[in-house]
Amino acid sequence: MLCSECWKYIWNQNGTLKEVRPPGGGDFAFDALFTYDALGRRLSKDAIGVTCWLWNGNVPLHEWTPSQRRNGQGEIEEYQKDLRTWLFEEESFVPLALFQDGKAYSIVTDHLGTPVEAYNEQGEEVWYRRLDMNGKVIEERSMLYTSYNDYVKIPFLFQGQYYDDEIKLAYNRFRYYSPEIGRYISEDPIRFASGTLSLFSYVEDPNVWIDILGLSCSYDAKKLRKNMLASGEIEPDYKNAAHHIVKSNDPKTQGLREHFENYGININDADNGVFLPSSLKVKTENNLTAISHSKIHTNDYVKKVNDRLINLHSESEIRTELRNIKTEILHGTF
């Protein structure tokens, strides 16, 4: 392949994507430039136009195009153009609504929390999209000419992913994901500590799993499931996920993982696992009390688990409390 046909990716020293240059561009041509805050959250994208973001934790709250205008005194001032505000499910990465131009739009998602439709305040469908199993767009429509002249485009793919049309990649918090190939374009930040040699892979089964931060745990989940079955746990007959009570790769649970190691407890031990319905739809269809796997990954959940375990100082105490937490999760009382 000729170099003129290649995309060029330039990275910051901390592993964040700094610049993307398109095929055929010269050394000073660029398709997109990105900036990030100290937590690695993307603050701006300069691609044809500039887009800026303000964050609420790990999800975007506002996005806008910065612009300039003259005020009443003839002075040039900065202002926010094309402001859009996103509303997500509480402690979740599932988008619920969009507010723009003084109007509200409801977002409909599938069982994984992936947006599929959007409706205006009059109940009219203003946006529709279907993806393949890797997240590549099969069909998308924005209803520009409705009776209320709405134009809406929802940029989110799988939970935690914001799709950039300009570079055909989805920003997935710590990495960028390519729906064309179903893989990340950079290696897992924790590298071989993830337990897999496939450092660029997405989740094992995108029909069930999601990777909200770009820190895939599918290898650990497979190992956890094997250990749970070997310990005598019975796998439910509905579509399920092997859930880590203490998450296997979230930076926020690093302290607990080290705490486990101090007492000889592996993150993939059966005591740290629970079989959960893979989605809210599966939970509802089977009349289950257990929290669905697609809804459990919240900051509040991580904090509660940490508070229950971090001050226990023996293997038996930790394992007993893990079993207590498992029971509460299954009963929907955690």
Cα of 56 vs its chain's centroid, Å: 14
Say which residues have a Cβ less than 8 Å from residue 158's Cβ, sequence separation at least 6.
112, 113, 114, 135, 170, 206, 210, 211
Q: Which of 86, 110, 82, 83 is nearest to 96 (CA)?
A: 86
Record the pTM.
0.69
- Among 35, 39, 87, 85, which residue's Cα sits nearest to residue 64? 85
Q: List the Cα angle 92/95/101 in 5-degree steps.
A: 135
CA distance 253 to 82: 37
Q: Is pLDDT of 253 > 90? A: no
- Under DSSP, the state recorded for 201 is B
Region 318-327 average pLDDT: 96
How many helices (H) and strands (E) would you count in the chain?
5, 18
Report helix angle 315-331 to 299-309, nearest 10.
Answer: 140
Q: Where are the alpha helices (DSSP H) in the chain?
A: 218-230, 254-262, 280-285, 299-309, 315-331
CB atoms near residue 187 (< 10 Å): 15
* Percent residues over pLDDT 90 in the chain: 57
pLDDT band at 295 (very low <50, low <70, confident <90, very high): confident
Q: What is the pLDDT of residue 248?
A: 82
pLDDT category of residue 249 using cuts at 50, 70 and 90: confident
What percentage of residues in the chain have a pLDDT greater than 70?
85
What integer pLDDT is reported at residue 300 of this predicted model? 84
Helix axes 254-262, 299-309, angle to 10 degrees: 30
Q: 34 or 81, which is more confident? A: 34
What confidence category does residue 7 fall into, taking pLDDT thresholds of 50, 70 and 90?
Answer: confident
pLDDT the model gives residue 1 = 47
Q: What residues does each domain of the chain span?
A: 8-186, 217-331
Residue 51's pLDDT band, with cuts at 50, 70 and 90, is very high
For range 221-236, the mean pLDDT: 91
- Backbone angles phi and psi of 127, in degrees to 5: -160, 145
pLDDT of residue 79: 64
Of 28, 63, 59, 39, nearest to 49 by C-alpha is 63
Do the beta carbons of residue 256 and residue 307 sit within 8 Å? no
275-313: burial string, b at 16+ Cβ within 10 Å, e else = bbbbbbebbeeeebebbbbbbbbbeebbeebbebbeebe
Reduced DSSP (H G I as helix, E B as strand, rest coil) percent helix, strand, coil of the chain, to 5: 20, 30, 45
When pLDDT is cut at 50, 70 and 90, the band that residue 2 belongs to is low
Where is pLDDT greater, at 252 or 46? Answer: 46
